[in-house]
Amino acid sequence: MKKIVAASLLAATALTPAAAKAQDMAQMQQMMADMQSELATLRGRVAELEAEQAQRDAQQAQMHANMQEMHSQMVTNMEEVQAAVVAAPAPTVTSPSPLEISWHGAPELEGEGGWTFKPRGRLQADTGFISVPDSTGRPDGFGSELRRARLGVEGTVPGGFGYKFEIDFAGNDVDVTDAIITYKDGPLTATVGQHNNFQSLEELTSSRFSSFIERAAFTDAFNFERRLGLSVQVKASDSVLLQGGLFSDNISNTSGNSMSADGRVVFMPRTGDTQLHLAGSIHYTDVGAGELTRYRQRPLVHFTGERFINTGNMNASSELGLGVEAAVIHGPFHAVAEGYWQHTDLIGSTMDPTFFGGYVEAGVFLTRGDSRGYRGGVFERTRPAHPVNEGGMGAFQLNVRYDYLDLTDAGIVGGTQNGYQASLVWVPTDYTRLLLNYGRMEYDDAAYATASGSRNYSVDVLGLRAQIDF
């Protein structure tokens, strides 16, 4: 039995490796079959990819061919356009002159053919003190005002025409000062609109360039003002100027009944460094029906409303004024004198008064190289030789003036003024000024009496002005 069992185990042991090998062979055969199947799948996919790549290559080749054709067409079109441009005549292009801008206190624009445009303006602020005899009962002490606040424009128009328009906003009012159209042809200048009517060197000199805070007394007393009218100026030679015009009222006077004729002749030779000025003027005014005439004046400064000499209202039919002027400028020194007679025809009176006003003035610049400006029959801008904006101190000018006004004649007792005045003017730059004024006005037959009944007394004034213009 033991032998049978041992034989059986030996046989089983001998058969086991053979069975294992057979099993391994079967597995390997299955793996080979699987691999062949996957390889066949991969070959199919490669074939698909190669087909897709061939299709893309064909599309790219077609796109390249299309681009080549488009490029050839564009080149052909450009050659045709270029040939057409070369064959066509060149167009004519007119380019306007560029706008030129210069600076003269403000920008001045100049265009083609004579067009120009420039803004202009001035600002003057005054302050000071007035001392009046207490017993007159008139107010005095500190005062101030915005004397002038003007804005405007000026320029030229092709054909010899020009224009200027300016408005004053001082005193909470809006007043037209200059409103003119001009025409120039050689030595002749014609002006229409509201403007000065050739009365006095002092009146015609701009307030921007005056040597005192206010003009001489007679210019305001005799009602010098801008009027609406037509005037002509002729520069007969370098030293002779003729002026004349016909005027009505100031534009603010809506009645416009008055009519006037004015003329002035100026002789203004220059000899070396000396400028001479001699002039005479005549003025006739036909006073409008129903209008009253009155002559009166403040004590030097404008910020007081008190007039210490005053004719009161007069019923006049006409006025005739005669003026004479003389001035000289030599280096830093200047002197000027004027006289003006105002004759008034009174309605219903057997006597017609003739009033008189005038002044004598002298001044000198304390700074080297400075002189008072002059052009066209009037005093002009002083330009400091050493302005503060260039490291200098500006120009300093000292002036004295005797200012006389007599409003008493032919039964009219309006009073007499003897004014003794001094001013110190500082001009830091071309367009800025400071003026310090002192005045002592001695009155005879003043409009207001003291407590004792006297009408002969003095009024002292101190005034200061700060100014800028452009």
Domain-embedded: residue 37: no
Q: How far is CA 244 from CA 116, 160, 167, 196, 231, in A?
A: 27, 20, 25, 11, 6
Residue 11 has pLDDT above 80, yes or no: no
pLDDT in the model for residue 97: 58
Domain-embedded: residue 34: no
Q: Are 154 and 468 in contact (CB under 8 A)?
A: no
pLDDT in tens, 37-90: 777 787 777 777 777 777 777 777 777 777 677 667 766 766 765 665 555 555
Mean of the pLDDT values across residues 373-382?
97
95 pLDDT band (50/70/90 cuts)?
very low
* Local structure of residue 388 (DSSP, 8 states): G
pLDDT in the model for residue 317: 96
Q: Say which residues have a Cβ less than 8 Å from residue 256's Cβ, sequence separation at least 6.
A: 228, 248, 249, 288
Domain-embedded: residue 380: yes
pLDDT in the model for residue 84: 59
Q: Pairing between strand 227-237 and 161-168?
A: unpaired
Residue spans of beta strands (DSSP E) within 386-430 = 395-409, 412-429
First to last CA, the chain: 148
Which pair of tokens denotes residue 295? 């002559």
Residue 122 to residue 469: CA distance in whole angstroms: 4
pLDDT in tens, 190-245: 999 999 999 999 999 999 999 999 999 999 999 999 999 999 999 999 999 999 99
Q: Are 177 and 171 in contact (CB under 8 A)?
A: no
Domain that holds residue 381: 100-469
Domain-embedded: residue 369: yes
Q: Indicate the number of domains in the chain.
A: 1
191, 161, 164: which is closest to 176 by C-alpha?
164
9 pLDDT band (50/70/90 cuts)?
very low
Helix %, strand %, coil % of the chain (to 5): 25, 45, 30
Residue 14 has pLDDT above 50, yes or no: no
DSSP secondary structure string for all residues of 295-317: -EE-SS-SS----SEE---B-EE
* SS3 state of residue 25: helix
Residue 139 has pLDDT above 90, yes or no: yes
Mean of the pLDDT values across residues 10-24?
51
* SS3 state of residue 219: helix
CA atoms within 13 A on the CB side of 191: 26
pLDDT in the model for residue 29: 77
> 51 or 305: which carries more pLDDT confidence?
305
Burial class of 18 by CB neighbour count within 10 A (0 to 12, 13 to 18, 19+): exposed
Domain-embedded: residue 40: no
pLDDT in the model for residue 43: 78
Residue 16 to residue 2: CA distance in whole angstroms: 22
- CATH code at 229? 2.40.160.10
Domain-embedded: residue 19: no
Domain-embedded: residue 94: no
* Local structure of residue 95 (DSSP, 8 states): P
Residues in the chain: 470
Kindly report the CA angle at 324 between 400 and 212, in degrees rounded to 5?
25
Domain-embedded: residue 230: yes
pLDDT in the model for residue 390: 97
